[in-house]
Structure 1
Amino acid sequence: MAVENFLKSTTPVAGRAVASRRSFAIYTKLQREIVLGMLAPRSTLLELELANRFEVSQGTVREALLLLQEEGLVHRQAHRGTTVADCRAEDAEELIRLRHDIECRGVRRAIVRNGAALADALRGHLEAMQAAADADDEYLLSVHDRAFHSDLFAQADLPPVQPVLARALVHAHRYKILHPDQSRDLKETANRHLAIMAALEAEDADKAADALSHHITTIVDFGPSILEDRT
């Protein structure tokens, strides 16, 4: 799946028209720069500067920024402009907890509805992750990693929850990339999905939920167990 196709399939656009092709292309480029830290947390984005950079109108840039705002990657305030969202541990931790609940319940429903066909549908994403790892392309690996989890959850047929998961996915990956102490070998990152695939192939809902639980709670290191209650 192409980067643009995956991003377009998981970008929430409820309540307004789908962004134009040109604004969507700008959105994908800016998302990459934000996730990789090329646009630093808390930095300011000026519509006029972006319009000049991409040789488009400010209205086209504004559409792209609205898509990023829906993902929580930028904050837009009237008369104060647009800033890149911070990348804090407390935000990442809460989103990972939320993601854990969404995915671990969703996979059980997905297996009931689709059985072993789930693994066949996701194999392409796994192969794309491994290829991105071989090419040392961390962002492309992130794109296909998110596609793997998004497409798996889509089979649970809970569309109102899908945009929530999409936001949790992109922020977890951004946090891991921007904090070098949380990083791991790219090949290892890709192959961490093998246990999930094995459980899906066996149509074992308990095993799949356990594999996802371990996978999600070890994306980054927040201590002995991210699932422990904290006060």
Structure 2
Amino acid sequence: MAVESFSSVTSLADTQGRTSRRSHALFEALQKEIVLGSLLPEQALTEMDLAQRFDCSQGTVREALMRLNEEGLVKRLPNRGTHVAPCHADDARALLHIRREVECSYLDRVVARADAALDRDLHEMLNGMRNAARDGDEYMLSVWDRAFHSRLFLAADLPLVAPILTRCLIHNHRYKILNSTPNRALEATAERHLPILDALAARDVAALRELLAHHIATIVDFGPDLSDGDSKP
């Protein structure tokens, strides 16, 4: 009896683990399509259609959509279903200002806690950006870019603030990709991070703050000026 009970619990855990992995994979696939614009702003999404398309259960789809809703990439409204979130310049501008405030205001904490592991991780992420740029893969470049800035802020040791930055980063990149001109210089985009690494290596808070503020303010090189002409934090 004990063996049967243990087997049942193990089987349930395995099933939940597989479901969780599948929902995470679906979340990542849908996130990519939304960021790249394959799924258009305001486009309706139904659990049944997505379940058929990805050959999974509606429960798996529901979990993935809930995570996308938490990121603000979809809107789930009672009696109105799920739609891809809009991507407006006003939202992008507000999120860019919030991002700059979050990233640039606590660099003294980052520098005070910087160590060899942080330097190593950031260089690995820069190499990831470089490889994606050489492959012409703008989405993977954005993934490594977001990882770079998230890892840098992680050193500030402000875990309740980090999710705010995560949301800002994904929406900044989505807006940039959806509004950018084709054939942008992806390798130059990756190399923009090198001066930030140099300032961090020198443990120069003032230089790091100035470079990072300019980096953020000039992330969008098209359409409306989201920086309002101000590159300082």
TM-score by length of structure 1 reads: 0.86
Q: Does residue 1:142 correspond to 2:136, yes or no? A: no
- Summarize the alignment of residues 131-210 of structure 1 with structure 2, pairs less than 5 Å apart: 131-181=131-181, 184-210=184-210
Offset of residue 113 of structure 1: 1.4
Judge conservation of contact 2:220–2:226 (CA < 8 Å) in 1.
Answer: no
SS of the counterpart of 2:128? Answer: helix
Judge conservation of contact 2:150–2:166 (CA < 8 Å) in 1.
Answer: yes
Deviations 1:191-220 (A, max 9, x none): 110110110111101111111000000001
Judge conservation of contact 2:93–2:226 (CA < 8 Å) in 1.
Answer: no
Deviations 1:141-188 (A, max 9, x none): 000000000011011000011111000000000000000249841011
Offset of residue 226 of structure 1: 2.8
Judge conservation of contact 1:97–1:227 (CA < 8 Å) in 2.
Answer: no
**Equivalents in 2 of 1:218, 1:199: separation in Å?**
18
SS of the counterpart of 1:82? Answer: strand
1:223 corresponding residue in structure 2:
225
RMSD of equivalent CA atoms: 1.7
Structure 1 runs not aligned, ≥5 long: 1-18
Q: Which amino acid aligns with 1:102?
A: V
2:55 corresponding residue in structure 1:
55
Deviations 1:39-68 (A, max 9, x none): 001100010000111111111100000110
Judge conservation of contact 1:116–1:200 (CA < 8 Å) in 2.
Answer: no
Judge conservation of contact 2:99–2:169 (CA < 8 Å) in 1.
Answer: yes
2:66 corresponding residue in structure 1:
66
Offset of residue 115 of structure 1: 4.8
Deviations 1:79-104 (A, max 9, x none): 11100011110000000000000001
**Equivalents in 2 of 1:84, 1:93: separation in Å?**
19
Q: Which amino acid aligns with 1:226?
A: D
Judge conservation of contact 1:125–1:145 (CA < 8 Å) in 2.
Answer: yes
| CA shift in 2, pair 1:183/1:157, >3 Å | farther
| CA shift in 2, pair 1:207/1:118, >3 Å | farther
* Greater shift in the superposed pair: 110-119 or 57-66: 110-119
- Summarize the alignment of residues 15-164 of structure 1 with structure 2, pairs less than 5 Å apart: 20-115=20-115, 117-164=117-164
Q: Which amino acid aligns with 1:43?
A: Q
Judge conservation of contact 1:125–1:147 (CA < 8 Å) in 2.
Answer: yes
- Summarize the alignment of residues 2-17 of structure 1 with structure 2, pairs less than 5 Å apart: none
Larger RCO (CA under 8 A, 6+ residues apart): 1
Q: Which amino acid aligns with 1:186?
A: L
TM-score by length of structure 2 reads: 0.86
**Equivalents in 2 of 1:167, 1:182: separation in Å?**
25
**Equivalents in 2 of 1:183, 1:99: separation in Å?**
26
For the pair shown, the structure with the greater C-alpha radius of gyration is 2
Offset of residue 120 of structure 1: 2.3
**Equivalents in 1 of 2:141, 2:173: separation in Å?**
10
Number of residue equivalences: 210
**Equivalents in 1 of 2:42, 2:161: separation in Å?**
28
